[in-house]
Structure 1
Amino acid sequence: MTSLAEAVDAIAEEHGFSGVVSVDRGGRAEFAKAYGPADRAYAIPNTVDTRFAIASGAKALTALTVVSLIEDGVLRLDTTARSLLRDDLPLIDDRVTVEQLLAHRSGIGDYLDEDDPDLDLDDYLLPVPMQQLAAPEDYLGVLDGYAAKFPPGERFSYCNAGYVVLALLAERASGVGYHELVRSRVCAPAGMRDTEFLRSDELPDRTARGYVPAGDGRWRSNVFHLPVRGVGDGGAYTTVADMSAFWRALFAGRIVPARWVTEMVRPRQDVPGERLRAGLGFFLHETRDQVTLIGQDAGVSFMSVHDPASALTYTVIGNTSAGAWPVLRPLRERFSG
């Protein structure tokens, strides 16, 4: 029988994977290996402690930040977005609540609609220069002008804009900047020392640059594809070790109390077209209790899966748009069925 290491190595070589694969139980590593370059121009290789962007994997950080504010009485699940947006984003229905935004059931129009069959994440998708997008308030002009897709609460529809709105609400309700809220309310209690919303034009050492294919075997940096600094719907950088620490802290109740963890990972609906169910900021296996974070963007591919019963975590994190998905296959076959 092929070992996990042999299977991962073979697929990584076949697909030219660039990133890190990690498997651990309770924080004890069973497999961890880095592949490919962190920086192609300078031939700097990835290592197991390289930081990578995780795209929508950061939605869980936003959800936990919001829930921690609810726990403190600063927000409520039934707080309406309108009560804090005031005259901003007038096309958002006055009835939309924090809970609906967390559950992707708000129905608001999306600036980056992943239900669009023609969406190409490697394209240049945003209508403003990337350097203008570094904080939630910067997104008001990007989010405005999108009509509602359906009435609030009617159904599930994955919504990036909803999580940017949540970041705005968190800032306005608390009077504290979004990035500081995530740092103090999620990363610090979880011991995630290498997790941060970095600027793409100021990446420090030990951080992978994201790449998109430019044709003829060439690669181009994703710096003009994504906001210069992520906000509520994505853009954090992390390591596989920090992801392991995150899961352990979450289910130990160190980020938000255990009753809130139970509520956030409670399946609320099936995800149309996917073998997943959705909670609040988290996805869940279609039949098992495994909890999943997923992210994909230009030059970013990421999945981290945790089984609370066995304390198993497996994470694949890459610095190309689709590189993680082939490498995930042997992990999912062995650990998720």
Structure 2
Amino acid sequence: MATLDDDLTTTATETGFSGVVRVDRPGEPTLVRAFGLADRAHGVPMTPDTRLGVASGSKGFTALAVMSLVDEGVLSLSTTARSLLGTDLPLVADDVTVEHLLAHRSGIGDYLDDDAEPGEYLMPVPVHVLATTEAFVPVLDGHPTLFPAGERFSYCNGGYVLLALLAERASGTSYHDLVRRRVLGPAGMVDTDFLRGDDLPGDAAVGYVEVDGVTRSNVLHLPVLATGDGGAHTTVADMHRFWTALLAGRIVPAATVTTMTAPHSDVPEEGARYGLGFWLDPVGDGIGLVGADAGVSFRSAHSPSTGATWTVVSNTSEGAWPVARVVAAALR
């Protein structure tokens, strides 16, 4: 991995990368590197053990929590959102199912503009209000259907908040506890959790975003406590544990993993395919999670055929991408 290490260092230096990288390949020493500062105001350096936000990367955790409920019969892939919503969110079509939501094929309108610039303030209510999944119900309301359920792929953050809501109502357990008990615990992800943005512990990196030419914390850009559409904090070591546990069937059974990683949509604009909660390589068996938000960029992937696993995570909005390209190219 000496060449990759050199290339990483060069790219990180040239781009001002702030974050952590880990690469694992069978038969080779683990490569872990940390660059930049976790907290600029206090000069706290990034370390391999720093916890960073992963934005939509944790949609995979949501999908696994939901699928564990499916395996137990608490939900099914054909369960309609309406059956658990009652009179809430009347614009969600009656035929939208759990499977549609997992696959981003529900057609529901989204509360979040994915094409917005990272520095924009996108939350339609004060961020401190958004500390529970139920608190998102008014935020999810009022967005008209875009197309009939199942017609096509359209990435939808609101769909994953809705999944968290359905999981809570079906199970009687909070979304955060569902993920802790059904995903993080079985995977041995001891350093991963949902952290309040206004009360980060000392081992968590502050996210930084440029607003009107000034670099600021992202605390006012994101819900104060993440829910189903992303925002958990993790470490690169925990992400390695995640992929190992997932493929070993310790989170959900192997047959369920196969269902979740089977292509449900081609997404040519992203150069990828999509399953149920996971991005898939356009060809081959590569599985990935990707997250991007104000002050967050993240990519983590595993190749069952080669056994390689890697994670790149940054506390800036675009920082992970150049480094991730270097790693991906080296592992092709």
TM-score of the aligned structures, taking structure 1 as reference length: 0.96
1:179 is paired with a residue whose SS is: helix
Q: Are positions 1:222 and 2:188 aligned together?
A: no
2:112 maps to what in 1?
112
2:90 is paired with a residue whose SS is: coil
Query: C-alpha separation between the residues in 1 aligned to 2:30 and 2:209?
Result: 31
Q: Are positions 1:268 and 2:264 aligned together?
A: yes
1:174 maps to what in 2?
171
Q: Is the 8 A contact 1:191 1:246 kept in 2?
A: yes
CA deviations 1:57-108 (Å, max 9, x no partner) are 0100000000000111100000000000111000000100000000000000
Query: C-alpha separation between the residues in 1 aligned to 2:249 and 2:277?
Result: 16
1:283 maps to what in 2?
279
CA deviations 1:210-269 (Å, max 9, x no partner) are 0012466x4200000000000000110000000000000000000000000001001122
1:125 maps to what in 2?
122
> What does 1:5-154 align with in structure 2 at a 5 Å threshold?
5-25=5-25, 29-114=29-114, 116=115, 119-154=116-151
| C-alpha distance 272-145 of structure 1, shift in aligned 2 (>3 A) | farther
* 1:272 Cα deviation after fit: 3.7
| C-alpha distance 27-92 of structure 1, shift in aligned 2 (>3 A) | farther
* 1:330 Cα deviation after fit: 1.4
Query: C-alpha separation between the residues in 1 aligned to 2:181 and 2:202?
Result: 23
* 1:121 Cα deviation after fit: 2.4
| C-alpha distance 28-50 of structure 1, shift in aligned 2 (>3 A) | farther
2:207 maps to what in 1?
210
Aligned length: 332
| C-alpha distance 273-286 of structure 1, shift in aligned 2 (>3 A) | same
Q: Is the 8 A contact 1:26 1:248 kept in 2?
A: no
5+ residue gaps, structure 2: none
| C-alpha distance 26-254 of structure 1, shift in aligned 2 (>3 A) | farther
Q: Is the 8 A contact 2:286 2:301 kept in 1?
A: yes
Q: Is the 8 A contact 1:27 1:245 kept in 2?
A: no
Query: C-alpha separation between the residues in 1 aligned to 2:57 and 2:323?
Result: 18
Moved more, 303-312 or 290-299: 303-312
| C-alpha distance 214-155 of structure 1, shift in aligned 2 (>3 A) | closer
* 1:24 Cα deviation after fit: 0.9
1:306 maps to what in 2?
302
CA deviations 1:179-233 (Å, max 9, x no partner) are 00000000000000011011011111211010012466x4200000000000000
* 1:271 Cα deviation after fit: 1.0
1:21 is paired with a residue whose SS is: strand
Q: Is the 8 A contact 1:193 1:242 kept in 2?
A: yes
Q: Is the 8 A contact 1:113 1:159 kept in 2?
A: no
Identity of aligned residues (%): 59
Query: C-alpha separation between the residues in 2 aligned to 1:103 and 1:143?
Result: 18
Query: C-alpha separation between the residues in 1 aligned to 2:25 and 2:226?
Result: 30
Q: Which amino acid aligns with 2:152?
A: R
Query: C-alpha separation between the residues in 2 aligned to 1:232 and 1:28?
Result: 35
* 1:44 Cα deviation after fit: 0.1
1:273 is paired with a residue whose SS is: helix
Q: Which amino acid aligns with 2:169?
A: R
1:323 maps to what in 2?
319
Q: Is the 8 A contact 1:290 1:305 kept in 2?
A: yes
Query: C-alpha separation between the residues in 2 aligned to 1:96 and 1:127?
Result: 24
Query: C-alpha separation between the residues in 2 aligned to 1:2 and 1:245?
Result: 24
Query: C-alpha separation between the residues in 2 aligned to 1:208 and 1:13?
Result: 19
Query: C-alpha separation between the residues in 2 aligned to 1:27 and 1:152?
Result: 46
| C-alpha distance 71-97 of structure 1, shift in aligned 2 (>3 A) | same
| C-alpha distance 28-228 of structure 1, shift in aligned 2 (>3 A) | farther
Q: Is the 8 A contact 1:27 1:244 kept in 2?
A: no
The one of 156, 163, 187 equivalent to 1:159 is 156
Q: Is the 8 A contact 2:60 2:278 kept in 1?
A: yes
